[in-house]
Structure 1
């Protein structure tokens, strides 16, 4: 995990301060998606599939941004970090560690 710096050009910031814009993007997309969804169908009916796809994309994008923000803010920056978290959860639950390279049964 990164350490919090004391300002300056090369300072490293950790936690929420560094990834607040992921959360802001998620909130903006969610708000825009809800607004578009509540507005409903307006205009030419031939554009309805495009409009439905765009609203669905806003919801998917909002959830992806929120997931990235929460993972990065909690200190998970790579797949290896996620594997360590998974191993710690399994150990905490009292489940045996996985054998081998983790590729199937």
Structure 2
């Protein structure tokens, strides 16, 4: 495979990766919201408050487990985005600097 062929492939990969990286702010916001919600849940539970009627869960344990899963998913997404940022640098460097004829 020539550098030109690789560059053509990487051009579409770069665009897809940039779109993925654009979601970083959303994941950060979700992560912050979920962490605050988890603290709120723990506060309600420690005060022996009944579950809010509209929470949709049967127990504090179920609710906390779901929020912890969502936190983990956001953390994994942010980690992936960190890798994608590094890949973007490498891909863009290659497409800008590799000679076409090789």
The answer to whether the superposition gives a TM-score over 0.5 is no
TM (norm. structure 1) is 0.44
Structure with bigger RCO (C-alpha 8 Å, 6+ apart): 2
Larger radius of gyration: 2
